[in-house]
Every structure is written in C-alpha cells, then in structure tokens.
Amino acid sequence: MHRIFPILCLLFASVGVRAQVMAMERYPFIPEELNGVFLDAVKDNIAGVMKSAFGQYFGQLTRQSEIYGYGTYYTNSDGEVIGQFRNGNLVFGIRMNNETARVGTLTDYIAYDLRSGDPLYIIRDSLRYLPTTEFQEKYRFESLTYQNGDRYIGETVNGKRDGYGTYYYAEGNYYYGQYANNKRRGYGALFRSDNSIALQFWGPDDE
C-alpha cells in the first residue's frame, strides 16, 4: 500500500500538469505553410458582397459566387465573424457578439468576456478548460484606440497586440490577421473602403 500511494500521487500530478498545459493553448496552431497554401488557393478570388438567410458577407468569392477566402460575415446568430472561410464555413477567425469574442475554429477556440476582456474558457476536443489566474492576467481581448484615430479590437498579451485581431484605420480601411509584440505577423487581409481586398504577408523584419 505504501508503494502504491506515491505512484497514484505521481499519476494525478501528471494529469494536472497535462490539463494545465492544454489550458495554455488558446486555439489550434496553424502552420505558416498551411496558411500559405490557403492564400495561394484564394489569392485570385474576387471581392464582393453577398446576402443570405444567415446575414451579409463582405469578402472573397469564387467565380461561382461561393464564399471562399478572407471575409467578414455579419450574422444573426454569431454577430460579426471575421477570418478565413471555405465553402461558406468559417475555417479560422473571430466570432464576436455583444457579450463574447471566440477566437479559433468552430470547434476549438478560446472565449473572452467582451465587458471585461477576460478569458472565460477554452474549448479543445469538446472539453472545456478554465484559465488560471496567471493566464487571465497575461491574455486578454481588448479595444485599443490610438491618438491618430485608429482602433484595434482583438487579442493582447501583456497589453500588446498579440494573437488575432482587427486593426481599423481612421480613413475607413481595416486589417485582419495575426499579431506579435504589437506588429502584424504572418498572413492577413486588408479590407479597403472601395470594396477591394489585398492579401498580405508580414515577416519578422517587416514594419
């Protein structure tokens, strides 16, 4: 019995550590190569507006008027949905209603409280993980306004733009993509006020 007890303690400790590590992953990591393949597939798609029973979409469309690429969907159920779409379905992005913002895929994501900016929970593999106090202090979802009139709505890490978010320029354009240490990183899309979309890639030496 004395030998079994330490083994059981070790097993429970391992499970606790594993759960803590899982909770630190906000959403599935998308390799840069996969995002590059997605951009190659949609780079020639046109930009347009489409209305459906679910709401209104502004973004990339195929020549057959199918929703495919980077876009913004204003829906009745999820509110504003911005990100990457394939065959009309969200692949990865931000779903934001009046109360919460969910960042990730439809099935694996982190949910934030829009009133406080605090992370509420993480859904991974149909399981719900609650964030630790340390996690809550580090990761947030915020609305930041700058002196020039620009505004950022999205994830922050220790007060800096980090994760996924949308940057709204004062002149009317807005950019959706990933950020790191206050700078744009990886692939994203610039939505222009003239209803055109420019796909962009930002490396570590850009900006």
Residues 6+ apart with CB under 8 A from 11: none
| CA 105-31-69 angle, 5° bins | 55
Query: Tens digit of pLDDT for each residue in 13-71?
Result: 333 434 443 445 899 888 888 899 999 999 999 999 999 888 999 999 999 999 999 99
The half-sphere exposure of 44 on its side-chain side, counting CA atoms within 13 A, is 4
- 99 backbone φψ class: left, alpha, beta (φ>0; ψ -120 to 50): alpha
Residue 190 has a pLDDT of 96
What is the number of other CB atoms lying within 10 angstroms of the CB of residue 54?
A: 14
Q: Which region holds residue 39: left if phi is over 0, alpha if psi is between -120 and 50, else beta?
A: alpha
Q: Residues 73-119: pLDDT tens digits? A: 998 888 999 999 998 899 999 999 999 999 999 999 999 999 999 99
- Residue 95 φ/ψ, nearest 5 degrees: -110, 120
What does the pLDDT look like over 143-173, one tens digit per residue? 999 999 999 999 999 999 999 999 999 999 9
Residue with tokens 């199918």: 66
Residue 137 pLDDT > 60: yes
Q: CA–CA separation, 100 vs 30, rounded Å?
A: 23
Please report, in angstroms and rounded to a whole number, the separation of the first and last CA atoms in the chain: 62
For 203, phi then psi, to 5°, come to -95, 180
**Looking at 3-66, which runs of residues are DSSP E strands?**
46-52, 55-61
Instruction: Enter the pTM of the model.
Output: 0.86
